[in-house]
């Protein structure tokens, strides 16, 4: 009598915990995607910086802003690209820490889910014996 | 088999590597592999586009202006002129364009091409690893499906006489070897891989140190004309130690004690070997004679333990020996020999060492079965190799036959300790360089009738 109720409760608990786990996993995968994007952009920026360094002082640099090609100063372009690189590395680092937190949470949730499952199993085993 | 007397645990491979799982793993790896293939194709497309662009950019400045059909919108063109033929606006990335001349543009494009190439190389390397993994899984799956069984037995020192009888014709009795082999095979492949990697390191170190030098790091050493032997002995000692370490992992303490004892005896034998080495002979003749002498010494002196150890190391010893010999004899082949662990060098190595190895195993078997060199490899290979080897050996070591090398190596293991076998090479030869990973090489080895990798020799 109390067992079926307890059993149902445990099962509900299990569901909620499983949902949490799924959410965390989705967050982790999103994190991965964003990280990938940032990594690619970072790589591209580094390439651009390399090429800009190879340019002579009087070369004309243009930046494509929408449909417009705007002439830019070489020094300005260099500075911009460097800033972007710094910003992106900082973002990546932040994402890394977030990812780490998410993974820890995921592990703890997984343990909780397992524990609930075990309790359910023991309850069911007890009921079967009784 | 004597091993039958020992108690053993039979474990069907299928229980360790469930067939379905192994097959699923194979499929997964294949999928990843196909993904990488498509990426590789994309990269190749990029590279070809890049080269076309370079050609175009180089051609444009050839004229002051070009008459072209200018695209206008999605479906129209109008005739026009291309002027300023030496000015290019190059997209560097992130929306940045820069004005460059044709030559500068070509330089930028070339640098891009190089970056692409390096990416392609890394992708290819990943694909190789994946292929190795896939083949490993495939072989495991097939073996599990066949119902191959892994037998673990406690390691017990065996009598020398028993060994000799066993060492008889290794080839014809793969099943009989399986038990003995399984004893060693029972040792986890990981241990083998550890040992193998250690052996490889040793080999490389020795190769680098010894290549071209006549000096040996050998303990007992080599003042003698036959430096090869000295080298081999030292290597053998090293191998012994390694093997002892590895064996200690698997075996009981008693065995360890026995091994320790054996080491001493082995050392004695090695000393004797050195003495033998000192006799003046031609290299070729030395090899054979020495082998025989060594065998004789071994026969006389030994107790089974030392013999066992010798046998165990015989493979490596032989392989090393061959390496040494070939090195001395031919610089070209020597290099390849050193890398015998790597599959790519198989062919070369086999050539170099094959000859000497072959002769040795034969002599050994003549001598007593101390070294079961011939046994290991598949009967096919051995048959091929032996006749060739005999002739080659006499001719002098410049011959190259890979097969013999492999054959000889396996022969040693027939009984026991895996001591790196060369068999893998034959397998590698057939499969080309697809399996490079050590692990994969260990496990992938083989199919029942083929020469087995060092680690799996016994499986045959």
- Which H/E stretch holds residue A68? strand A68-72
Distance from the Cα of B86 to chain A's closest Cα (Å) equals: 14
CA-closest candidate to residue B221, choices B257, B275, B171, B280: B275
Is residue A38 assigned to a domain? yes
Is residue A64 assigned to a domain? no
- CA distances to A41, B92, B95, B456 from A67, rounded to whole Å, are 21, 17, 11, 66
pLDDT value of position B269 = 63
Is residue A63 assigned to a domain? no
Is residue A18 assigned to a domain? yes
Interface touch A59/B97, C-beta < 8 Å: no
Domain count, chain A: 1
- Which H/E stretch holds residue B12? strand B8-12
B153 forms bridges with which residues in the sheet?
Answer: B8
Q: Measured at the alpha carbon of residue A28, what is the angle toward residues A25 and A34, in degrees to the nearest 5? A: 145
Interface touch A77/B97, C-beta < 8 Å: no
Interface touch B95/A52, C-beta < 8 Å: no
Residues in chain B: 460
Q: Span A112-130, mean pLDDT?
A: 83
Is residue A61 assigned to a domain? no
Is residue A75 assigned to a domain? no
pLDDT beyond 50 at B328: no
A62 forms bridges with which residues in the sheet?
Answer: A71, B97
pLDDT tens per residue across span B418-456: 444 444 444 444 443 343 333 434 444 344 444 545 554
**pLDDT tier, B267 (very low <50, low <70, confident <90, very high otherwise):** low
Query: Is the ipTM reported for this complex over the cut 0.85?
Result: no
B105 reaches A (C-beta below 8 A): no
CA-closest candidate to residue B312, choices B195, B206, B424, B403: B195
pLDDT value of position A79 = 92
**CB atoms < 10 A from the CB of B142, how many?**
17
Is residue A57 assigned to a domain? no
Interface touch B115/A62, C-beta < 8 Å: no
Interface touch B96/A77, C-beta < 8 Å: yes
**Among B115-119, B184-188, B298-302, B336-340, whose mean pLDDT is lowest?**
B336-340
pLDDT tens per residue across span B79-110: 999 988 888 989 888 889 998 889 989 999 99
Is residue A43 assigned to a domain? yes
Domain interval for residue A90: 4-47+84-128
Distance from the Cα of A83 to chain B's closest Cα (Å) equals: 13
pLDDT value of position B229 = 63
CB of B393 closer than 8 Å to CB of B358: yes
Place of tokens 């990697």: B197
A48 reaches B (C-beta below 8 A): yes
CB of B322 closer than 8 Å to CB of B262: no
Place of tokens 């590895």: B246
């Amino acid at each position: 009598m109390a067992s079926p109720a307890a059993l149902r409760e445990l099962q509900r608990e299990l569901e909620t915990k499983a949902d949490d786990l799924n959410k965390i996993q989705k967050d982790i995968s999103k994190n991965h995607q964003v990280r990938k994007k940032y990594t690619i952009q970072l790589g591209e920026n580094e390439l651009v910086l390399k090429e800009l360094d190879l340019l002579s002082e009087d070369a004309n640099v243009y930046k494509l802003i929408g449909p417009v090609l705007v002439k830019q100063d070489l020094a300005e372009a260099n500075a911009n690209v460097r800033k972007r690189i710094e910003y992106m590395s900082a973002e990546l680092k932040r994402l890394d820490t977030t990812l780490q937190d998410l993974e820890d949470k995921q592990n703890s949730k997984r343990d909780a889910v397992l524990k609930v499952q075990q309790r359910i199993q023991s309850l069911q085993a007890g009921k079967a014996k009784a | 088999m004597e091993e039958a007397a020992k108690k053993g645990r039979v474990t069907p491979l299928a229980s360790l590597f469930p067939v379905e799982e192994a097959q699923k793993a194979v499929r997964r790896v294949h999928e990843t592999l196909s993904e990488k293939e498509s990426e590789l194709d994309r990269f190749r497309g990029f590279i070809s586009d890049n080269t076309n662009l370079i050609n175009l950019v180089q051609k444009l400045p050839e004229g002051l202006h070009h008459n072209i059909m200018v695209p206008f919108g999605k479906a129209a063109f109008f005739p026009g002129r291309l002027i300023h033929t030496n000015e290019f606006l190059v997209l560097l990335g992130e929306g940045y364009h820069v004005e460059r001349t044709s030559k500068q543009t070509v330089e930028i494009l070339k640098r891009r091409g190089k970056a692409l190439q390096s990416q392609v190389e890394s992708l290819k390397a990943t694909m190789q690893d994946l292929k190795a993994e896939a083949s490993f899984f495939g072989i495991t799956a097939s073996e599990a499906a066949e119902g191959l069984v892994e037998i673990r037995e406690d390691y017990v020192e065996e009598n020398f006489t028993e060994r000799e009888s066993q060492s008889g014709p290794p080839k014809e009795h793969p099943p009989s070897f399986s038990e003995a082999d399984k004893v060693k095979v029972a040792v986890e492949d990981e241990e083998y891989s550890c040992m193998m990697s250690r052996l490889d390191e040793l080999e490389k170190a020795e190769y680098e140190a010894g290549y071209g030098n006549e000096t040996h790091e050998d303990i007992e050493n080599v003042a003698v004309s036959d430096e090869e032997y000295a080298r081999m002995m030292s290597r053998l000692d090293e191998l012994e130690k390694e093997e002892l370490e590895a064996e200690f992992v698997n075996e009981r303490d008693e065995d360890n004690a026995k091994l320790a004892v054996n080491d001493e005896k082995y050392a004695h034998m090695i000393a004797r070997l050195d003495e033998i080495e000192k006799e003046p002979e031609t290299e070729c003749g030395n090899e054979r004679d020495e082998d025989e002498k060594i065998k004789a010494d071994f026969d006389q002196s030994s107790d089974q333990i030392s013999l066992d150890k010798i046998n165990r190391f015989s493979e490596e010893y032989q392989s090393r020996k061959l390496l040494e010999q070939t090195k001395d004899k031919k610089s070209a082949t020597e290099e390849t020999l050193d890398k015998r662990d790597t599959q790519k060098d198989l062919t070369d190595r086999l050539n170099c060492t094959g000859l000497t190895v072959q002769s040795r195993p034969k002599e050994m078997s003549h001598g007593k079965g101390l070294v079961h060199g011939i046994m290991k490899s598949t009967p096919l290979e051995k048959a091929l190799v032996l006749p060739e080897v005999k002739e080659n050996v006499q001719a002098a070591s410049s011959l190259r036959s890979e097969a013999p090398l492999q054959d000889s190596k396996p022969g040693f293991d027939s009984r026991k300790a895996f001591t790196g076998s060369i068999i893998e090479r034959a397998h590698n030869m057939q499969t080309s360089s697809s399996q490079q990973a050590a692990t994969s090489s260990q496990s992938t080895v083989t199919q029942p009738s083929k020469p087995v990798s060092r680690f799996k020799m016994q499986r045959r």
